[in-house]
Amino acid sequence: MAVGSATRVLEFMDDAAKTYVAEITFGVETDTFDADGQVTGVTDPLSLDQSGIARALYTFLGSQLQVPPMYSAVRVGGRRLYEEAREGRTVDRPARPVVFHQLDLLAWASPTATVLVECSKGTYVRSLAHDLGDILGTGAHLSSLVRTRAGVFTLCQAWTLRELAELDLPAVWAEVAFHPDIVLEEWPALILNDAEAKTWRQGNGIAAAPIEARCRAYDAGGEWLGVGVGQADLGAWRPTKVMAVVP
């Protein structure tokens, strides 16, 4: 949840990697690739073992091309795939590039595997479950999914809506909320003197020898001034979002 100036950095979360704990149940396939769908196939998964599943997971590591499930919000030909699926149609879906940074088999209790999945944006863990079942020849579906991390935010830092409603806000706001610049913590930081900070607040670039990258800017007192981009050809850091009010 973002409020105030934090809404202006939400777009920078779009590329954030995510981490999940997924339960994948073998031997049962569904049309949605998860437990909410209709069963489309049943096989006997008793031949599976922990080492075989771990080896199969390893083949998905790194960059992959993944076909999204029919029951998804991806648009093909101007329509959402789930709209086509609800009308009983299956359409060709172009594969999309995704990256699996980590795939660890945490537990195996036949017929269900618990898997730690760290992946890029746009990844369907449901499709991973389905594809894993295909490789192992038993079929599979995603029976449970918990997101434990999105970018810099982890589940253990989260508050429920009920907990928030019971807090003495805004008195304890500093204990609940993160500063908006946490989303940008891996970006280069510019520390500007008084003259440069004034120039930045007015929306003008700062002469420097920048790298071709995005940056976050602060004045000498640590006040967050906004975000910008390095333009090596112009020899300047140029503000793209100014957070401070022009004095």
Domain, as residue range, for 206: 187-247
**89 and 142 co-located in one domain:** yes
Q: In whole angstroms, give the CA distance from residue 196 to residue 209.
A: 15
**133 and 47 co-located in one domain:** yes
Final residue before a domain boundary, out of 150, 179, 196: 150
Q: In whole angstroms, give the CA distance from residue 166 to residue 61.
A: 43
35 in a structural domain: yes
Q: In whole angstroms, give the CA distance from residue 100 to residue 206.
A: 38
4-56 residue pLDDT tens: 888 989 998 888 899 999 999 999 999 999 999 999 999 999 999 999 999 99
7 in a structural domain: no
The total domain count for the chain is 2
193-217 residue pLDDT tens: 999 999 999 999 998 877 788 999 9
191 in a structural domain: yes
**33 and 117 co-located in one domain:** yes
180 in a structural domain: no
Q: In whole angstroms, give the CA distance from residue 167 to residue 145.
A: 29
**For residue 102, which phi and psi values (nearest 5 degrees)?**
-150, 135
**For residue 80, which phi and psi values (nearest 5 degrees)?**
-70, 140
What distances in angstroms separate CA 85 from CA 41, 89, 120, one per listed residue? 17, 5, 25
80-114 residue pLDDT tens: 999 999 999 999 999 999 999 999 999 999 999 99
Q: To 5 degrees, how large is the angle CA 190–CA 194–CA 198?
A: 85
- Beta-bridge mates of residue 37: none
Give the pLDDT score at 245.
59
Q: In whole angstroms, give the CA distance from residue 206 to residue 239.
A: 8
**For residue 243, which phi and psi values (nearest 5 degrees)?**
-90, -30
Average pLDDT over residues 145-167: 93
Can you give the pTM of this predicted structure? 0.85
181 in a structural domain: no
CA-closest candidate to residue 132, choices 73, 64, 74: 64
Q: In whole angstroms, give the CA distance from residue 27 to residue 110.
A: 10
**Domain with 110 in it: what CATH number?**
3.30.2350.10
